[in-house]
Amino acid sequence: MAHDRFGNLTGWDLEGFHSGGDTEAWRRLGAHVVTVHDDERGELSGTRFAVWAPNAQRVQVMGDFNWWQADEMELIPGTGVWGIWKEGVGAGAKYKFKVQGADGNWHEKVDPYAFRAETPPYNASIVHTTHHEWAPGEDAWLSHRAETDPYHRPMSIYEVHLGSWRKTMDYRQLAQALPEYVSWMGFTHVELMPVMSHPLEASWGYQVTGYYAPDERLGSPDDLKVLIEALHAAGIGVILDWVPGHFPKDDWALGRFDGTALYEHADPRQGEQPDWGTYVFNYGRNEVKSFLVSNALYWVSEFHIDALRVDAVASMLYLDYSRAEGEWIPNRFGGRENLEAIDFLRYVNKHLYERQPGVMMIAEESTSFSGVTAPVHEGGLGFGFKWNMGWMNDSLEYLKLDPIYRQYHHNDLTFAMVYAYSENFILPISHDEVVHGKGSMVDKIPQDDWRKFATLRTFYSFMWSFPGKQLLFMGQEFGQRAEWDESKGLEWWVDGMHWHKGLRDLIRELNLLQAQVPPLYLHDHEPEGFRWINANDWMANTYSWLRFGQDGDMVACIANFSPEPYVAYGLRVPRAGVWREILNTNDARWDGDGDHLNGARLAVPRDDGDAEVVVSVPPMAAVWLRYDPDADEQHLSQG
C-alpha cells in the first residue's frame, strides 16, 4: 500500500460514533481535506470522504473532480462506514454519494455531514474548509457569556428570518444592517430561524436536508460567521433554531439512506410525523444520537452560537403526538412517553451545558410535560428555558375580543400566574402567530387604528412587565399590517408612519427601560418578584401588579384594555411616599394623545400598613410607576 486509502481514518476512530458517545462526529465523517503520507512521493493533499451506510451493497463518490462518474468506496472493516481518499480534491469541489441499497436499487445521496451545500434547487454537497479567523473580541464575548447569569438579567429576543428581514441581503450585508438595528432597538438577542440547508424556501428552514451546512442562498459558511461575529461585537447574543425532531422525505437526503430506515424508525407509527409529512429520528440508535448531539455542539462550537431553541419538542416527547388510537406504539411500560427521545434530550442538554459554559438550551414545548427546565440530575429534561405557549395562546385570544367582551375573559391574562414559576419561561409572540391566516398582530385586534395600536402598545407593555423573558417576531415591532410572507419580506416602508413609528419607538423604550429597571427582570423566575395589586377588576378590563427588585426597589404596573379612562384609579402599594411614572403608553412620543400623564404621585399610608396611590389611567393604555425613596414628598400633590 503506497498510502492510507482511508485518509487517516480507522475503525478505532469510529468506536464513539457507534456507541452514541461521539459528540464531534463531524470531524470524522463527511468530507475533509487531509494530507496523507506516500512512501514514494511524500506528503499528498486530497479529500477524505466517509459515510455511514451499513446496509448498502456498494457506495461510490461522484463529483466535478471525476466528471460525475463514480469512484468505488470501501468499507472500513467492522464499522458500516464507507471511505475513500481522493488525491488532488480540495475545498470547493462538489460531490454526492451514489448508494446501492440492500434491495439493489441505486440512489444519489447528499452527504449528511456536509459543511456546505449548493444553492437550491441544486443540492450537491461541497467540500469546505473554513478560512474565517474570529476577531479578538470573540474571546471576550465567549468569556463574558460563560460568566453571565441569564435568569437574572434582561433578555428580550428579536426573532428573525434572515432571508426576508431585508429581502435581497446576504449574510455579509446583514452583518452591516442587522446588528445596528437590533442594538438600537435594545434587544439583547436575535433568534435566527433555522439556517441549515433546506430545499424549499417556504419551509422557513424547518425541513432540513443538510444539518451541518448553512443555507447557501445567503452566502457561504464563513459569511454566516461574519454575521454572527458582528452581532456579538454589538453585544447581541445569537439563538439558533434547531430541528432534531423530524426531517423531510426527499429521496436525495437522509431518508432511507442506505435503502433501509437508517436515521428513522422503519415502522411509520414511530418513524413518520403525519402533521408535516416527515420522518422521525430513531433516538434509540447510537449512530443517530452521535449525529444529533454532534450537530448541536457543531453550531455552538464552530459558529459560536449562544443558544439553541429546540423546535417541536412536544412531538418528540409523545409517541401519540398528533396520532389517533392505533396509530402509535406504546413504550415498554405501556405509556405514551417517548423514552428514547427523553433520554436523548437529557443527554444533549447535559452535554452542552457542561461542555460550553454560558450556552442556553430553549424548548419550544406546548404541553404540560413536567420538568422541562429542571436539571437532569433532578429528573428534568435539562433545558434552560421553555416557551410559554399557554400564555401566548391565552393572550392572543384575549386581544381578538371586542373590549366589551373582554370582561368575560378576564382570566385569560391572569391564568399564567398559576403556573408562572413551574418552568423558566420565555413569553413568545413568534412567526407562527402571524402566518397561515392568523393575521398580523395589528389585524388580530378589532375596530379602528386608534384602538388597534393603543391596544398593541398596552399589550406589549403588559408583556414586558410580566414575569418571564420576551420574544417578538420581526415586523411586529412596527405593527406590520400584512401577515408575514417569506417571499416578500417586511413592509419597512410603514415603520416611519403614524401609529407604526410610535409602536416601534415604544418597543425600543420598553427594552431600554427594562435594562435600566431591575424589578422588571431580576426575579422573572422567582415568586418574590411579583404580586398582584388587583387581578380581579374585570368590569374595568384592567390589571395591576407589582414587580420587585432588591432593597425595596419596586414598580407598580397598570394595564387598561378598556376604551374608558380612569382618572382616579386607586392602587394599593407596599410603601407610602413618591411613586414616579416611568412609562405611559398614551404619551405623544408613542402616538398617544398625551392625556392622563401622571408625573410623580404621592402614596399615602393606609390603616393596614400599606399605602394607596391614586393615578390617572388613559384608555387602552399601560402605566408604570417606580417607587422613589429619595424624592422630596413635601413638594408633591395628589394632582
Would residue 364 show up in a list of annotated catalytic residues for this protein?
Answer: yes
Residue type at position 295: N
Instruction: Give the max Cα distance, the chain.
Output: 98
Q: What is the dihedral of CA 327, 392, 239, 312, to 10 degrees?
A: 0
> How far is residue 338 CA from its own chain's centroid?
23
Count of other CB atoms within 10 angstroms of residue 347? 19
Residue among 272, 311, 423, 505 flagged as catalytic: 311
Residue 375 · residue 363 · CB < 8 Å: no
Please give the Cα distance from 594 to 379 (Å, whole number): 52
> How far is residue 131 CA from its own chain's centroid?
27
Please give the Cα distance from 124 to 117 (Å, whole number): 6
Please give the Cα distance from 343 to 381 (Å, whole number): 8
User: For residue 519, which of 573, 478, 480 has the smallest C-alpha distance?
Assistant: 573
Count of other CB atoms within 10 angstroms of residue 169? 19
Q: What is the dihedral of CA 139, 142, 148, 151, to 10 degrees?
A: 160
Coil, strand or helix at 13: helix
Sign of CA dihedral 225, 231, 237, 239: negative
Please give the Cα distance from 310 to 46 (Å, whole number): 36
Q: What are the cell numbers at 540?
A: 374595568
Please give the Cα distance from 416 to 388 (Å, whole number): 9
Residue among 264, 364, 524, 537 flagged as catalytic: 364
- The residue behind cell 390617572 is 616
Residue 64 · residue 94 · CB < 8 Å: yes
Q: What is the dihedral of CA 214, 218, 220, 223, to 10 degrees?
A: -110
- The residue behind cell 424547518 is 206
User: For residue 484, which of 445, 429, 431 has the smallest C-alpha distance?
Assistant: 431
User: For residue 573, which of 622, 533, 617 has the smallest C-alpha distance?
Assistant: 533
Q: What are the cell numbers at 228?
A: 454572527
User: For residue 303, which of 225, 359, 360 has the smallest C-alpha distance?
Assistant: 225
Q: What are the cell numbers at 66?
A: 471525476
Q: What are the cell numbers at 23?
A: 459528540
Q: What are the cell numbers at 614?
A: 391614586
Please give the Cα distance from 215 to 360 (Å, whole number): 23
Phi first, then psi: what are they for 297, rounded to 5°?
Answer: -65, -35
- The residue behind cell 455542539 is 297
How many Cα atoms occupy the beta-carbon half-sphere of 441 within 13 Å? 26
Coil, strand or helix at 145: helix
Please give the Cα distance from 375 to 350 (Å, whole number): 8
Active site members: 311, 364
